[in-house]
Amino acid sequence: MNPLPSNVRIREVGPRDGFQNEPETIATADKVRLIDMLSSSGLKRVEITSFVRPDVIPQLSDAEEVLTGIQRRDGVAFSVLVPNERGLERALALRDRFDEISVFLSASETHNRKNVNRSIGESLAGLEQTLETAREAGLRREGVIATSFGCPYEGEVPLDRVLGIAERLAAAGCEEVGFGDTTGMANPRQVGEFFAAARERLDGVELTAHFHNTRGQGLANVLAALEQGVDSFESSFGELGGCPVPPGATGNVATEDVVSMLHEMGVETGVDLGALVEASRAAQRVLGRPLGSHVLRAGPVDWHGVQSE
C-alpha cells in the first residue's frame, strides 16, 4: 500500500451541489450565513453556486445575490459552476467575488443527454471555448466528469472513455479534473484501480475525487483514493446533495465525516471539525429536518471522554 498523503485539500460543494437538490426554496440570507460559517471553519475551497438558467434550477437563481452577500476571506478560494459560455458571462460580471470555475459533463452518453441535452462530443466542443474564456479572465479551471464510476442508465462506463475525456479537458486548459460518483455506484477496489490508471495518464493534473454515499460506501471510497495518492476531494456538509436517479439516493459523502476520519488517521485538512459541525447543525435548522452526516448525529470522537476499565 502506498503511504497516505499527509495533507488533503477539500472543496466544500454543499452550497451548490447540496442546495440545488432541496425542494423548498432556501432564503438567500440563509445561504449567505451558512456559506460564511463554512468559509470561517478552515475550509480553503468552497463551491458557492452555479450560473445555470434560473428556470432550470430555480434554487440557484440568486447566484449574483449570494456572491455579492458572502464575506471574502484571505486564503479561501471560492468557485462557481458554469454550464456554458453564457453562464460564464454572467459570472464574470462578478469576477472579483470568486477565484475558480468548474465546468461539467458526463462520461455516459445517455446521462449527458438527459442532463444537458448534448452528446459528449458536443459538450466538449462547447466547454473548450468556455475554458479558454475563463483562462483569459485569470480563473483557475476544473473539469468535472459525472458518472465516472458507473451510470444508472448504461451501467459500467469504460475507464478508457473517462480518462480520454479527462485528457481532452486537460488539453483545453483544466488544471484540475474531478471524477464524480454521481449515483454512488463506485466500490473501493474499482476506485483504487481507477486512480492508479488516472495518475499514469494525467501527469501534472490535479485529480479530485467526488463520492456520493448512496450505498454507504463513500468513506471507504475516500480511503481507496487516498491509498492511490489522491489528496483532493469534494464533499458536502451534512451529507447534503444527491441525484434524482436512483430513487432514494442520499447525498454526497459528508464533509464532517471525511474530516473526522482523516484527522483520526493523522491526515491534516486545516478544518476545525467543531465549527464545521456547527454549520451542519445550522443547515438542519434552516431546512427543518435531520441531515445524514454520522458525525453530526454522534459527534466527533472524544478520546478524553473515553473511560478505561
Q: What is the mean pLDDT of the chain?
A: 95
pLDDT digits (tens, 9 = 90+) for 77-86: 999 999 999 9
Burial of 224 (0-12, 13-18, 19+ CB in 10 A): buried
Please confirm whether the linkage preceding 246 is cis (ω < 30° from 0). yes
Identify the CA nearest to 232 among candidates 98, 130, 102. Answer: 102
At 244 the pLDDT is 63
- The one-letter amino acid code at 185 reads M
Phi, psi dihedrals of residue 245, rounded to the nearest 5° = -125, 130
Q: Is 243 a catalytic residue?
A: yes
Calculate mean pLDDT across residues 115-135.
Answer: 96
Predicted confidence (pLDDT) at residue 45 exceeds the cutoff of 80: yes
Tell me the C-alpha distance between 126 and 121, whole Å: 9
pTM of the model: 0.95
Q: CB atoms < 10 A from the CB of 171, how many?
A: 10
In 205-253, alpha helices (H): 218-226
What domains are there in the chain, each with its CATH number? 9-298 (3.20.20.70)
pLDDT digits (tens, 9 = 90+) for 269-290: 999 999 999 999 999 999 999 9
At 1 the pLDDT is 65
At 307 the pLDDT is 53
Burial of 30 (0-12, 13-18, 19+ CB in 10 A): middle
Copy the grid coordinates of residue 8: 488533503
Beta carbons within 8 Å of 298's beta carbon, 6+ residues apart: none
Q: Which helix (H) or strand (E) holds 31?
A: helix 28-39
Predicted confidence (pLDDT) at residue 248 exceeds the cutoff of 90: no
Find out whether 249 and 243 touch, Cβ atoms under 8 Å: yes
At 267 the pLDDT is 98
Helix, strand, coil shares of the chain as percentages rounded to 5?
A: 45, 15, 40
Q: In the structure, what pLDDT confidence band is assigned to residue 309 with cuts at 50, 70 and 90?
A: very low
Q: In the structure, what pLDDT confidence band is assigned to residue 242 with cuts at 50, 70 and 90?
A: confident
Residues 34, 67, 243, 249: which is the catalytic one? 243
β-pair type (9-12, 77-81): unpaired
Please confirm whether the linkage preceding 244 is cis (ω < 30° from 0). no
